[in-house]
Structure 1
C-alpha cells in the first residue's frame, strides 16, 4: 500500500499548490520525517524540520546517485550525467570544472550587463496599464542571462525554455519525457556547433575540454543542469518576491522608501516562498537513522526546503513576510556539498530586477486578487506561471 501524497494530506477544500505550508506545519507538528508518495515516482521519506534537513543534506550515507535506489536502477539521469545526481569524487570533479564561473566576484562583474538587460525589458513595457510580469520580465531576464553565459543563441531561447519548464514541472510523464529528448538533441547539436565554431562562452570552453577530463555524457549533463537550474528557479524567485511584496503592503512601503532593502527582501522571499520546493531525491546507500526514523538501504529521501525554512523552532512567526528578519538562515539554496552553485547569480539577478522594477514603476500593484492566481507545483519547484500587475 502506497503512502499518501501531500495533496491527499491537505484538509478538505484546501489547495496544496496554492498554499502548501499548512500541510507542512501539520506534518512537522507530528515529527520531522514522514512517509509520502510522489506521483509518477514512488514513496519517499519527506524531511520537514530544519534540523533534520541540515542533517540529511550533510549525511554521506544519503547518495544522490539513483543507482542506490531500491526502485529505479536503470541510471535515471534526466539528461546526461550531472553533478546534481552525482556523489564525490565525481561530483567534486564536475563542480570544480565550472565553479570559477559562478563565484560572487564573477557574478559582480556581470551585474552591469544584468542591469542593462533588465532596463531593456522595462523599456519595452508600457508606462501604464496591465501586463503579465512573468512573461514580460521575470522570465526573459534569467533566460537571457544564463543563455548568454552558456552560449545559447537568442533565436533558440523561447523553445529552450518551453522544453525546460516541461521537464522540471511536467504536465504529464509523456510530455516530460518528450521535452527531455528534445532538449537533449538540441544540446548535443549545440555542443557540436561550439566545437566547430568556438566562441567566448562557457559551453564553448567546456566543449574544448579534454574528453578524459569531461566525458560527452558529463558535458551534456553539465549543459543541461546549468541551463535549466540557471534560470527556472530565478524566474520563480523574481515573481514570488514581487508577489510577496504586493500582498504585504507594509513591507512594500518600507522597500519603496529605501530600495537598499532589496537584498533583504530577496533573502526573506527565499525563506518565505522558496522557489526550490524540495531537493532532488537522495537514496540510502546503507541503513541509517534520520531524526529517530529508521531508513532502509535503497529508500528515497527528499528534503522539503520550503518546509524547513518555515520551521518555527528557528524562525519566529515563520508565516510572516518580514524584511527586517535577521538572520534569515534559510535553506532555499540547500546546504552542504550540493549547495546551489548559482546562488550568487540568482541573488544578483533578483535584486537587480526588483530594484529597477520599483524604480521605474513605484506605484506597481497587483492586477487581480491573490486567490485567483494559479501556482504551478512539482516535487522540485513551485512558481507562478502568470502574475498580472498594473504599472504606473
Structure 2
C-alpha cells in the first residue's frame, strides 16, 4: 500500500453478478484488477478489494476504521440499530475497542469454551437422533441452525423455555425484505426487549454463564475502564448474532462441500483426527462471510495502485482472497490435505473473531457427528438447484435437502 499515481477509477460493477455466481464473479474482478468500484451492501458506492495480500494487509491496517463516525457525510448507511445494540466491537477502533475486548476476554475464556465441548456433542447427537427415522430432511432447519443457537444460549445462560425464534430475527436483519421493511424494525425491537429482560434477570440471579460473568466484569471494573450499559447489551447481541449466523452457514456450506466431494468426506470418516485441519480448509473454500465488515479510511490510502479517499466505504472480499491463486494454488479445488492456515474467514489483526475457538469447536463436532452417523448422506436435489441466500453479506443456504 504505497503512494503511487492514482489510475483512473475502475468501472462500476453490478452486485447482482456477485449474487448469481459469487466465486466466478469475484475471480473475474480479482484478475481484472485489485480494486473495483461497486454498489455496496447498502446500495451506495464502495471500493471492493479482491486480492489476498491487499485484503490481509487492510484487515490489520489501523488506517482502516470500523467506526461509522469516520464515514464521509452522505456515505455509508448500513443497518440502523439503536445505541443499545450498535455499541459493539464491529463498530469500534482503539482505544475503545481495546478496552471492551480486554474486558470481555476476562469473561469469554478458553476454559469456558472448552467446557462447551460435551454440551455441543450432546446437542448434536440429540438432533441427529431426531433426524434418523426420517430418512430425508432439510439439514439447515433440522441440524445446522438449531445446534449453534442451542450452544449460544447455553453459553449466554438463556433458559430453553426463553429461547425465541432467533432465526427469524437474524434473517430479518441480514436479508431485509424490501416489500416488508417493518420486519427489520420489529426484529430490532424484539431483540432489544429480549436482551433488556435477560440482563435484568442475570443481575438479579447470576449463574455460571458468560452473560453473568460479563455483567460481573462490567459492574466490578474501574469506573473509567468499565463497559457502558449499551456496550454490555451490544456485546450480548453481537455474541448471539455473529455466533449463531456465521456458524449456521459454516456448517451448512462445509456439508455441501463434502457431499460434492465424497472421496474427501470418506477420508474424514476414516480418520476423524483430520477434522481440525479440515475445518480450516472448508472455511477457506466456502466461508460464511464473502466480505469483511466495512471499513472507512481515516486518510487517503493507496491499495494496489488505487488511492481510496478518506471516509469512503471499503469492502474487503474474503471470498476473492480465499480463491486467489497467488496465495492458494488451485484454489477452486477443495483439498482437505491443504495447509489452509492464513485463511481470513475468522479475521486478521486486532479484529480477529473473539469467538473463533467456539466456531471451530462447533463445526468440528457437528461435521464429525454427522458424517459418523450417516455414512450414506447425500444431497436430495441436484447441487445446481440448491438455493442460496440473496445477500452480499452472508454466504449461506436457504435450505439443504439431504437423504440418508
The TM-score with structure 2 as length reference comes to 0.89
1:122 is matched with which residue?
Answer: 128
1:17 is matched with which residue?
Answer: 19
Partners of 2:86 and 2:200 in 1: how far apart?
15
CA contact (8 A) 1:5 1:39 kept: no
Following TM superposition, by how much is the alpha carbon of 1:345 offset from its aligned partner in structure 2, in angstroms?
0.5
Residue-by-residue CA offset, 1:333-365 (whole Å, 9 max, x unaligned): 111111111111111101101111111111111
Which SS does the other structure have where 2:338 is aligned?
A: coil
Q: Does 1:182 align with 2:199?
A: no
Which SS does the other structure have where 2:163 is aligned?
A: helix
The 5 A counterparts of 1:43-58 are: 43-58=45-60
CA contact (8 A) 2:42 2:78 kept: no
CA 1:5–1:183: 2 relative to 1, 3 Å: farther
Residue-by-residue CA offset, 1:111-161 (whole Å, 9 max, x unaligned): 112111111111212245111111111111110001111122223434223
2:3 is matched with which residue?
Answer: none
Following TM superposition, by how much is the alpha carbon of 1:186 offset from its aligned partner in structure 2, in angstroms?
1.6
The 5 A counterparts of 1:360-379 are: 360-379=373-392
Moved more, 17-26 or 301-310: 17-26
Partners of 1:371 and 1:74 in 2: how far apart?
34
Following TM superposition, by how much is the alpha carbon of 1:103 offset from its aligned partner in structure 2, in angstroms?
4.7
2:68 is matched with which residue?
Answer: 66
Candidates 180, 202, 208, aligned match of 2:210: 202
Which SS does the other structure have where 1:289 is aligned?
A: strand
Following TM superposition, by how much is the alpha carbon of 1:377 offset from its aligned partner in structure 2, in angstroms?
4.0
Following TM superposition, by how much is the alpha carbon of 1:385 offset from its aligned partner in structure 2, in angstroms?
2.1
Which SS does the other structure have where 1:294 is aligned?
A: strand
Q: Does 1:112 align with 2:118?
A: yes
Which SS does the other structure have where 1:162 is aligned?
A: helix
Partners of 1:158 and 1:305 in 2: how far apart?
32
CA contact (8 A) 2:41 2:393 kept: no
2:250 is matched with which residue?
Answer: 237
CA contact (8 A) 2:371 2:377 kept: yes
CA contact (8 A) 2:51 2:320 kept: yes
Q: What stretches of structure 1 of length at least 5 have no aligned partner?
A: 11-15
Following TM superposition, by how much is the alpha carbon of 1:236 offset from its aligned partner in structure 2, in angstroms?
0.5
The 5 A counterparts of 1:174-323 are: 174-208=182-216, 209-210=218-219, 212=223, 213-323=226-336
CA contact (8 A) 1:132 1:386 kept: yes
Partners of 2:108 and 2:339 in 1: how far apart?
26
Partners of 1:73 and 1:271 in 2: how far apart?
28
Candidates 320, 325, 329, aligned match of 2:342: 329
Residue-by-residue CA offset, 1:160-214 (whole Å, 9 max, x unaligned): 2321222123233543333222212221222122222322222223234228411
Candidates 154, 157, 165, aligned match of 2:160: 154
Partners of 1:228 and 1:377 in 2: how far apart?
18
Following TM superposition, by how much is the alpha carbon of 1:104 offset from its aligned partner in structure 2, in angstroms?
4.4
CA contact (8 A) 2:42 2:76 kept: no
Which SS does the other structure have where 2:113 is aligned?
A: helix
Moved more, 379-388 or 142-151: 379-388
CA contact (8 A) 1:164 1:183 kept: no
Following TM superposition, by how much is the alpha carbon of 1:101 offset from its aligned partner in structure 2, in angstroms?
4.6
Which SS does the other structure have where 2:13 is aligned?
A: coil
Following TM superposition, by how much is the alpha carbon of 1:26 offset from its aligned partner in structure 2, in angstroms?
0.6
2:4 is matched with which residue?
Answer: none
Following TM superposition, by how much is the alpha carbon of 1:323 offset from its aligned partner in structure 2, in angstroms?
0.8
